[in-house]
Structure 1
């Protein structure tokens, strides 16, 4: 009789140790099992410090500047921050946007990385507000009816129509503009007033004196105002761009000299409560507040029209971008939002009653998102939603992990999660592995294909430190009493030493340091034992382990 293990796999905690598939484990800790061997995971290696941040619990690598090394952005545990880069191709300002630190914010390379840190060191509130009041209009001082045309005797030959027949009813609005060229929604319109174009044989006085409203107060970067005019029920068109400090303007611009049509009619500020910022295809940013998901104008991350908002049955907990759309998880059922334009998004409820237990547990896995629910990990996407850990954890085992405390990341095709109950990696269909690693936050840098963790007050890179000490324990092998006269064993490893333990009926009967690939003898006296387990511990990669009743059975 021989017990043999290779093609090692992770744990399936829900199953009794006797019922585990042949190569799944009762214990799989600090292992990288993607190769099918017992390969030790490497510990995280420190790569940077985060001075000046108290209890850092949010991390983002801003990969611009600093001679190509970029900068580490971090926020304390008082915040729950989500970051998105500018959706504008070739953005010369390298703008970056984030939510979770009060009202939504934005910054540029020169602002965010000024000084010695911590970073980001400066920012503006995201969005451009409308001016607080409407412009005022008044007739110019030269608007005086001309005298009629008379003959030499003083008789009236012709009455001059005044205002001229070309006069049009006109109204004005004003918008604010930032140093980045971002334009906000218009002010309330002025009252109507007559104006007319200047020209030959046209009476003077056709211009309009416009009083400009002040700019809004706040941490904003408004440097200019734009004045727009509408004539006789048409569209607002640009009259002039003026300094932010301007308080008046004399409009003498003829109709054929007006500029472009007002584009920012509904470019509202984002809600101050906006959270969970993510970047979607086609230049769209998305976020949520209360039971609402909001979208920005395509390639206009400062503009968040109210008309682009979707309301849901329950408060939103988080959003994640997957290949099929936007997964929205709530305190009730999850949803899938699809659409290529922010003005044409449609929401579909996914038929599973699984609320999200932790916003930071929601992770884009490519074609679907995984998130922690009270019953386990839920996969949600275009194919629907289901609990994918039902065959891995019981509800009681899952609750012991404390799913409400999970923050997780996609790395190397795995769902890598940290919680009050420890650290684990889950791969659908392959079981789960646990790690002796703690972290308060993390960030996956796609450019470097590296997962960075916040450990203490520093940044560490997953898998770049020394090999960890692993432990793998086999399923429980039930052997008829008298048939288990195991006398020899062999461990095939890439290098040595490794430690082999044999457990019989719950009692450790052997702990042997294996120094090479040769056979070694086992102690006698346990032939009547029924339940056998094999445990391997070490930091060297193991390919297989064999325990047999005779040397001839060993390969």
Structure 2
């Protein structure tokens, strides 16, 4: 006998074959309420209102413009063609339901909206660096005198020095040779060498040995190697003798010094001459001594003197014997060398006298030639030695002149590079007491800085401006602060700035702080600060309260953009407990200041290894889905967030698939639907849907919501559709005939909405029930068996029947329509394998198929 009692209408397992399906799974589960074990069709949907075509985001306020709570399901729902995130602000006594919004492609800056129609950029624009001006009472204090003397006055003297030094440009000789024809800083005398004046092509740093062409030839001077210039029918041979010095128009400098007066801020001394003629002369002497060659150059100058003196002697007077012309070789005689006399046996041969004389002449020639060769070799050796030594002297002299010139240059650079050296000279003249004298006023100087912050009409305060330059004032002085503009260049009215706050640094003997000086209407352009420290308010500026972060595209110039998109702005906004909001850019997770949604300190940012795809929130934990490993970030405060990289390679395929559920977050990965929680990541659909089937649904297209304990997952692949997962008592999978581009759950009214085309549908609130369908797997018996009776325990009626279909051995054998609780006879037939399908819009508790009436009665 065979009995099938179907009372637990299980979920689907698409990847399991019909014969392998156990009683815990079904072949089909369509349009049924999954948390129930009954055959319980879902209600149909009703059209709520129109929406934009292809809407990707939905949102509704639950307060009206008066701040009254409105729990009306028919109230308007906003639809957007962009993918947006909305987070209701956690703000005390905020009755306009202020909500924060990001575009999730990062194409626009985050915004703040509310029920009164406000729609503005999130964050408060930061001021630029304020301009301040101190109004100092005319008192000449020791500190002011010191600052003036070693600051402006020293700089003025430095300017006099620069104005009276003889520059090199156009004065090439004057900066090396004095009016007496001697070098300022080179050789002590010229040693009969000629100045470069009048020698065409000459170098002003050189002295020249002017020699005749005859002497140059006689001594074998290598004029090319020696760099000689053609001059006066002979040659001018150079040697370095005078470095570039720094001569001054000393009388003019002294005259300039005596013209300086005390500044207008010097009280009674204002307008008086600073220096007497004697003091100016002493300062000029100090400057002369500073720019003159120092002791370290004395040895170099002595060495240069010795070299130039030797050079002059070599070039002008050095001589040696030079042989006359070479001897002439005797001519060979043209007559026969031997003469024959007599005849017959008595012939005699005698040498021709011409040849005898020729041999004697050759002996004399060879002796003369050897003597000439020795003399010529000696002369050439002398010439080579002369040339080598002169070149050596030229090179050494050039090196010495360069060294002295470097020292002089360094001295002059130190003299004019700032005011340190001039300051030392003023100190040598007696400093403030010696030059300014008595009558200085002692005062207590306060070194201050200022910052400015903007405040919106919502009471939001910006990150303070860059700190001003330091200003030093005493109790009698005042400071004027000019209201700065916005760092972004925007008009303050456009960013809803109503007030500006001025903060001042205040330092005591034990601590330093910033304190509020004044809060002013943005229309006030300047403020005169004459407040004493004890009058300041204790309110402090928030230096870390920056506006929402954004990526600076400049850092990616000529490079690929990050994988999360080319747009630079904060995206993916979610709300967390304790007034915290989180958003991301690329692989950076940012958190706002708790309960301060417009402030996003940089110190609160956390970087992930992979670009972020989206967020989900459960308990006090932020789930971060990335293109690689997911992360969990936890913490009670934004400043103490801790990131944990999960040991899972289940990346997030779709941001809109992330939904927070009890104990974790559900999201679509490339392998299936994942549950991420404190225990890690689990692919919950692994035994239900294999990877190939899942990929066919196009995970990247998925978006989801959770409603009534069911996770509804919309997909675009395989023709599109909606999977439903029950979160209770295990993972129960079904299908629902929903389709659309966006879904949203109104938690206030506990309603679910889907945007489909231009219609916004309110799900499961229609007057009728959907047609549900549920089908078993294949049940195989040990032998062929017969099923004779079928009965449905449900709410079926003639107008709302339930249909039961029976397959036997793979073929549809019978279709029964039930309009009441009466059992029905099944047609005869025996089969090894059975499969049952239930379909209808009525609710059913149990469906029974059995072989006998006794079995039917026993149920």
Please state how far the C-alpha of 1:331 moved relative to its aligned partner. 0.3
Q: 1:373 to 1:480 in 2, by over 3 A?
A: same
1:85 counterpart residue number: 88
Q: Cα gap change, 1:316/1:363 in structure 2, threshold over 3 Å: closer, same or farther?
A: same
* Kept after mapping to 1: 8 A contact 2:14/2:689: yes
Alpha carbons 2:577, 2:620 under 8 Å: kept: no
Determine which of 443, 449, 463 is the counterpart of 2:764: 463
1:394-405 mapped onto 2 (5 Å cutoff) = 394-405=690-701
For 2:740 and 2:655, the matched residues in 1 are separated by 17
- Asked if the contact 1:23/1:474 (under 8 Å) is kept, the reply is no
Cα deviation 1:370-427 (Å, max 9, x = unaligned): 1000101111111211111112111112112221111111111121111113101112
Q: Which sections of structure 1, spanning at least 5 residues, go unmatched?
A: 113-122, 149-157, 198-203
- CA–CA separation in structure 1 for the residues paired with 2:108 and 2:575: 19
Q: Among 73, 78, 81, which residue is 2:78 paired with?
A: 73
Does the 8 Å CA contact 2:740/2:756 hold for their aligned counterparts? yes
Q: Report the counterpart of residue 499 of structure 1 in structure 2.
A: 803
Residue 35 (1) aligns with residue 36 (2): yes
Q: Is this contact kept in 2: 1:392–1:431, CA < 8 A?
A: no
Q: Secondary structure at the match of 1:109?
A: coil
Please report the TM-score for the alignment, with normalisation by the length of structure 2.
0.58
Contact 1:235 / 1:261 at 8 angstroms: preserved in 2? no
Q: Aligned residue for 2:502? A: 227
Alpha-carbon deviation of 1:517?
Answer: 1.5
Instruction: Confirm whether residue 445 of structure 1 aligns to residue 746 of structure 2.
Output: yes
Matched, 1:328 2:624: yes
| Structure 2 match to 1:152 | none
Asked if the contact 1:375/1:395 (under 8 Å) is kept, the reply is yes
Which of 120, 135, 141 is equivalent to 1:140? 135
* Greater mean deviation of Cα atoms: 296-305 or 497-506: 497-506
Match of 1:189 among 467, 470, 477: 467
Match of 1:103 in 2: 109
Between structure 1 and structure 2, the one with the greater Rg is 2
**Which ranges in structure 2 are unaligned for 5 or more consecutive residues?**
141-265, 269-437, 551-568
TM-superposition CA deviations, 1:107-162 (whole Å, max 9, x none): 232124xxxxxxxxxx111111211x3112222275556978xxxxxxxxx95725
Q: Distance in 1 between matches of 2:627 and 2:138?
A: 64
Q: Partner of 1:396: helix, strand, or coil?
A: helix
Residue 274, structure 1, aligned to residue 570, structure 2: yes
Aligned position for 2:686: 390
In the alignment, what sits opposite 1:153? none
Larger relative helix fraction: 2
1:72 to partner: Cα distance: 2.0
Deviations 1:490-548 (A, max 9, x none): 11112232111111122211112112222211122x31x32211111110011111222
Matches within 5 A, 1:159-170: 161=441, 164-165=443-444, 167-170=445-448
Question: What secondary structure sits across from 1:40 in the alignment?
Answer: coil
Partner Cα separation in structure 1 for residue 46 and residue 807 of structure 2: 35
Note if 1:518 corresponds to 2:822.
Answer: yes
CA separation in 2, counterparts of 1:144 and 1:459?
Answer: 77
**Correspondence list, 1:407-418, <5 A:** 407-418=703-714
Measured after TM superposition, the shift of residue 71 of structure 1 is: 4.3
RMSD: 2.0
Cα distance per residue 1:22-75 (max 9 Å; x no partner):
25210110111322110111122222333xx34322001211117714542221
Instruction: Name the SS of the counterpart of 1:235 in structure 2.
Output: strand
Compare 507-516 and 138-147 and name the one that shifted more: 138-147
Pair 1:217-2:490 in alignment: yes
2:574/2:582 contact within 8 Å kept: yes
Residue 329 (structure 1) shift: 0.8
Higher share in strand: 1
**Residue 467 of structure 1: how far off its partner (Å):** 0.6
Task: Please say if 1:243 is aligned against 2:517.
Answer: no
- In structure 1, C-alpha distance between the alignment counterparts of 2:625 and 2:827, rounded to whole Å: 56
**2:208 aligned with 1:208:** no
Secondary structure of the structure 2 residue equivalent to 1:98? strand
Indicate the residue corresponding to 1:309 in structure 2: 605
| Distance of 2:796 and 2:31 partners within structure 1 | 18
My pick for the range that moved more, 338-347 or 455-464, is 455-464
Q: Which residue of 1 aligns with 2:124?
A: 128
SS in 1 for 2:464: coil
Q: How far is 1:174 from its partner?
A: 1.0
Contact kept in structure 2, 1:171 and 1:192, CA below 8 Å:
yes
Q: 2 CA distance for matches of 1:437 and 1:54?
A: 17
Residue 806 of structure 2 aligns to a residue whose secondary structure is: strand
CA contact (8 A) 2:39 2:844 kept: yes
Relative to structure 1, the CA distance from residue 475 to residue 7 in structure 2 (aligned partners, 3 Å threshold; closer, same or farther) is same
Change in 2 beyond 3 A, CA 1:192/1:419: same
Q: CA deviation at 1:551?
A: 1.6
Separation of aligned partners in 1, 2:91 and 2:775: 52
Aligned residues: 519
2:138 and 2:80 map into 1 onto residues whose CA distance is: 60
Deviation at 1:263, TM superposition (A): 3.3
Change (3 A) 1:552 1:430: farther
Alpha-carbon distance between aligned partners in 1 of 2:53 and 2:538, rounded to the nearest angstrom: 49
Residue 60 (1) aligns with residue 59 (2): yes
Per-residue deviation, 1:461: 2.0
**Alignment-derived partner of residue 550 in structure 1:** 852
What SS is found at the alignment partner of 1:398? helix
**Superposition deviation, residue 457 in structure 1:** 2.3
Give the distance between the partners of 2:824 and 2:648, measured in 1 at CA.
Answer: 54
**Residue 92 and residue 35 in structure 1: after superposition, are their counterparts in 2 closer, same or farther (change >3 A)?**
closer
Q: Could you say which residue in structure 2 is the equivalent of 1:485?
A: 786
**Divergent runs of 4+, >3 A:** 141-148
Alignment of 1:427-442 (within 5 A): 427-428=726-727, 429-442=730-743
Tell me how far apart the structure 1 counterparts of residues 792 and 593 of structure 2 sit (CA, whole Å). 61
Deviations 1:245-286 (A, max 9, x none): 333221112111112343320111112411111111111111
Distance in 1 of aligned mates of 2:822 and 2:628: 58
Query: Which of 509, 513, 526 is the aligned partner of 2:813?
Result: 509
Q: Does the CA contact (< 8 Å) of 1:324 and 1:381 recur in 2?
A: no
CA distance in 1, matches of 2:137, 2:439: 19
Please report the TM-score for the alignment, with normalisation by the length of structure 1. Answer: 0.89
Indicate conservation of the 8 Å contact 1:363/1:408, yes or no. yes
The structure-2 alpha-carbon separation of the partners of 1:533 and 1:144, relative to structure 1 and needing over 3 Å to count, comes to same
